C-alpha cells in the first residue's frame, strides 16, 4: 500500500464501521489523519477498502490507539473470539473474510497470547491480498460491448438518412443489433455504467427502428 515520506499507514480497513471507529478515535485524540480509498483500476466508484495514514510524528500515538481498541475488543467477554474453540480461533488468520478488521487483529493477538501455533508470515499482507482479490472478483466487469453497440447505432442513424426510402432493412438491422446488445447489457450483471448505457441503447435503438419504419410507410403512402 502507499506510504509517503511524511505519513505512515495505520492499516487497511475493509469494514466501514471499524474504519469510522478508528478515525473517530484519532480525531478525538487530536491526531491529524487522511484516508486513502482503494478502488479497482477500471472503476472509480467502487470502494474496496480504506487505508488510514497519520503523520510519522504521531505514528506511535496512533498505534497505541489502535492497540487500545484491539485490547478493548479482547477484554469484552461477549466478543465471539472468547466463545469458539482454539482450533476455530487459529483458523481465523487463514480466512480473513470471516472477521471484521479489529476482530481479525484481536484474533491474532489472542492466538499469540494463548501460545497457539501460528505460521511465521506477514499476516497483514496476506489479509490484504486475499480480501482485495476476493472483492475484485465480485465486482461486475466491463463487457466491452458498449463501443460496438454505439457504432451500430451510429451507422444505423447514418444509413437511415439515405436508405430508408428504398432499403429500410439496412438501418433496421443495424438498430436491431444495437438494441440486442443494449438488452444484453441491461439484463446481465455487468458494470453499473454499462447497465445504464444498455438501457439507453435499447430505448434509442427501438426508437430508431420505429422511426425508419414510420418514414418508410409515410413515403409509400404519399
pLDDT one-digit tens code per residue, 190-208:
666 777 778 888 888 888 8
Question: Are 35 and 127 within one domain?
Answer: yes
Q: pLDDT tens, 37-53?
A: 988 776 667 788 999 99
For 14-161, strand residue ranges (E) read: 33-38, 49-55
> From residue 5, how far is each of 2, 30, 36, 55, 136 by CA, in Å?
10, 21, 15, 9, 29
In a domain, 150, yes or no: yes
Which residue range is the domain that position 178 belongs to? 146-221
Confidence at residue 165, expressed as pLDDT on a 0 to 100 scale: 61
CA-wise closest residue to 189 among 139, 153, 124, 115: 139
Give how many domains the chain has, as a whole number. 2
Q: Single out the residue in 138, 159, 178 at which a domain terminates.
A: 138
Question: Are 88 and 119 within one domain?
Answer: yes
In a domain, 1, yes or no: no
Question: Are 151 and 90 within one domain?
Answer: no
Cβ neighbors of 186 (< 8 A, separation 6 or more) are 195, 198, 199, 202
Question: Are 75 and 115 within one domain?
Answer: yes
**The pTM is what?**
0.63
Q: Single out the residue in 103, 119, 138 at which a domain terminates.
A: 138
Stretch 137-165: mean pLDDT = 74
Cα(14)–Cα(2) distance, integer angstroms: 16
Residue with cell 504521531: 58
Q: Single out the residue in 113, 138, 163 at which a domain terminates.
A: 138
Amino acid at each position: 500500500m502507499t506510504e509517503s515520506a511524511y505519513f505512515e499507514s495505520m492499516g487497511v480497513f475493509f469494514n466501514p464501521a471499524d474504519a469510522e471507529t478508528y478515525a473517530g478515535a484519532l480525531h478525538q485524540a487530536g491526531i491529524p489523519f487522511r484516508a486513502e480509498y482503494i478502488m479497482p483500476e477500471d472503476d472509480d466508484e467502487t470502494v474496496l477498502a480504506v487505508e488510514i495514514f497519520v503523520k510519522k510524528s504521531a505514528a506511535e500515538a496512533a498505534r497505541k490507539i489502535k492497540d487500545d481498541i484491539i485490547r478493548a475488543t479482547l477484554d469484552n467477554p461477549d466478543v465471539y473470539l472468547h466463545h469458539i474453540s482454539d482450533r476455530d480461533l487459529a483458523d481465523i488468520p487463514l480466512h480473513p473474510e470471516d472477521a471484521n478488521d479489529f476482530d481479525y487483529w484481536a484474533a491474532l493477538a489472542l492466538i499469540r497470547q494463548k501460545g497457539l501455533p501460528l505460521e511465521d508470515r506477514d499476516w497483514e499482507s496476506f489479509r490484504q491480498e486475499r480480501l482485495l482479490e476476493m472483492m475484485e472478483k465480485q465486482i461486475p466487469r466491463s463487457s466491452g460491448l458498449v463501443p460496438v453497440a454505439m457504432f451500430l447505432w451510429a451507422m444505423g442513424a447514418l444509413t437511415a438518412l439515405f436508405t430508408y426510402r428504398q432499403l429500410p432493412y439496412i438501418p433496421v438491422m443495424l438498430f436491431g443489433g444495437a438494441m440486442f446488445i443494449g438488452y444484453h447489457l441491461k439484463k446481465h450483471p455487468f458494470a453499473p455504467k454499462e447497465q445504464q448505457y444498455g438501457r439507453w441503447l435499447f430505448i434509442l435503438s427501438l426508437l430508431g427502428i420505429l422511426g425508419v419504419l414510420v418514414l418508410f410507410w409515410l413515403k409509400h403512402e404519399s
